[in-house]
Amino acid sequence: MKAADCLTADVIHLNHTAADWEAALRAGGGLLVRAGKCTPAYVDAMVAAVRHMGPYVVLAPGIALGHARPQDGALGTGISLVTLAKSVDFGSPENDPVWLVISFCAGDGEGHIDLLSDLARFLGSEVNIQRLKTAKTAPEVLKLFESSQQGGEQQV
């Protein structure tokens, strides 16, 4: 499964205002709940995991990948994407502040590996990151992911 296969306009929120890391994480999780991919308990588990284990979800400079265990309330595989109007700190000295929160859930422990690999490849491109930072609409974001899936970076 590719990231472009999971992303739809209803799970993308650009220029979101979040007071802190928890609000940012809950914004992404809320999109997954509304899309029927997880329960509200899953979102609570995402927040609890960061509280208990620290900012391990901040995987790269400015980018967090919110998630919990499938048994915490995942109903299927899905991702949401939230860009923040003002970056927030998660408590990661190396990678704060965070401007992009991708929330993720999977109904099992295996079916999401290809999705995460595709997402890592997409986020590994500085061109993709810059285009994502400047995207103004959900259709722009969808086009960027679709272009990446078809074999490369979106041209600048």
Residue 99: which CATH number?
A: 3.40.930.10
How many distinct structural domains can be found in the chain? Answer: 1
Gyration radius of the chain's alpha carbons: 14
pLDDT given for residue 150 in this prediction: 64
- Percent of the chain exceeding pLDDT 90 equals 79
Is 103 among the domain residues? yes
Question: What is the C-alpha separation between 24 and 109, in angstroms, rounded?
Answer: 25
> Which pTM value belongs to this model?
0.90
Confidence band, pLDDT 50/70/90 cuts, at residue 153: very low
DSSP one-letter code for 51: H
Which pair of tokens denotes residue 72?
């915490």
Q: What is the mean pLDDT of the chain?
A: 91
Is 154 among the domain residues? no
Question: What is the C-alpha separation between 59 and 61, in angstroms, rounded?
Answer: 7
Q: Given the DSSP bridges, would you call strands 98-105 and 78-88 parallel, antiparallel or unpaired?
A: antiparallel
Q: Is 67 a catalytic residue?
A: yes
Candidate list 13, 52, 67, 112, residue with the active-site label: 67
Is 107 among the domain residues? yes
Is 102 among the domain residues? yes
Q: Please count the CA atoms within 13 angstroms of the CA of 124 that sit on its side-chain side.
A: 7
Q: Which residues constitute the domain of residue 62?
A: 3-149
Is 155 among the domain residues? no
Is 156 among the domain residues? no
Q: Give the range among 27-36, 60-69, 104-113 with minimum mean pLDDT.
A: 104-113
pLDDT given for residue 117 in this prediction: 85
Residue scoring higher pLDDT (117 or 57): 57
Q: How far is CA 102 from CA 2, 17, 57, 155, 156, in A?
A: 14, 15, 10, 23, 23
